[in-house]
Amino acid sequence: MVKLNKIYTRTGDDGSTGLGSGERRLKHDLRVEAYGTVDEANSCIGLARIHTGTFPELDAMLARIQNDLFDLGADLSTPDTGETLAYEPLRIIDSQVQRVEADIDALNANLAPLRSFVLPGGSPASAALHLARTVARRAERHMVALSRKPDETVTPAALKYINRVSDFLFVAARVVNDNGAKDVLWLPGHNR
């Protein structure tokens, strides 16, 4: 149970922050960058949802992803050090990955195959979803880098989850562009 009575604690004034395990890390630590970027992607999805109200099924999917991204942040903020904690850390699990895959498949069923890359745009909702997608990809890059560091761990399910979320956001951006009919396609070398 989360309980936040006081928002500022002054404990981070020295440039450090506390992980879920109680360990202190510098705010520019790669683990903090990873879960901070997950939070940024979540905020971008929140902004995109301002424009997705006319797509209730998609909006419900995005709401579930937002909640899961908090789970992912909790997962990343509590590294598995092998030490016993006073609580069971929250971890992303395979069923969360599978649910996003099922959502991608459902949304993708009505989309025509692409014959070019898609430029972000077409509609405000699509542009916002593409922005969220690129931030999710940045979070994924941080997570992969973190997973390759000695003495650091990122669960395989967490890596799969963030990868699927960015795929989902790409498909969702096409859906809100009239199922891809209003996609803005890349024209290689068009402005030479």
Is 187 within a domain? no
Is 189 within a domain? no
Distance CA 167, CA 103 (A): 11
Residue 11 above 60 pLDDT?
Answer: yes
Residue 22 above 90 pLDDT?
Answer: no
Distance CA 34, CA 78 (A): 12
pLDDT digits 0-9 by tens, 162-172: 999 999 999 99
| CB-based contact 136:169 (threshold 8 Å) | yes
Number of domains in the chain: 1
Beta strands in 19-85 (DSSP E): 24-26
Is 10 within a domain? no
pLDDT digits 0-9 by tens, 26-68: 778 999 999 999 999 999 999 999 999 999 999 999 999 999 9
pLDDT score, position 1: 57
Interacting residues of 93 by C-beta distance below 8 A, sequence separation 6+: 157
| CB-based contact 30:142 (threshold 8 Å) | yes
φ, ψ (nearest 5 deg) of residue 24: -100, 140
Tell me the pLDDT band of 2, cut-offs 50, 70 and 90: low
Distance CA 134, CA 40 (A): 11
Is 190 within a domain? no
Three-state secondary-structure class, residue 16: strand
Q: Exposed/middle/buried for 77, CB within 10 Å: 0-12, 13-18, 19+?
A: buried
> The domain containing residue 153 runs over which residues?
25-79+88-181
Is 38 within a domain? yes
CA 2, chain centre distance (Å): 21
Kindly report the CATH number assigned to the domain that includes residue 142.
Answer: 1.20.1200.10
Closest CA to 31 of 148, 173, 187: 148
Is 15 within a domain? no
pLDDT above 70 covers a percentage of the chain that reads: 97
| CB-based contact 185:117 (threshold 8 Å) | yes
Is 36 within a domain? yes
Is 39 within a domain? yes
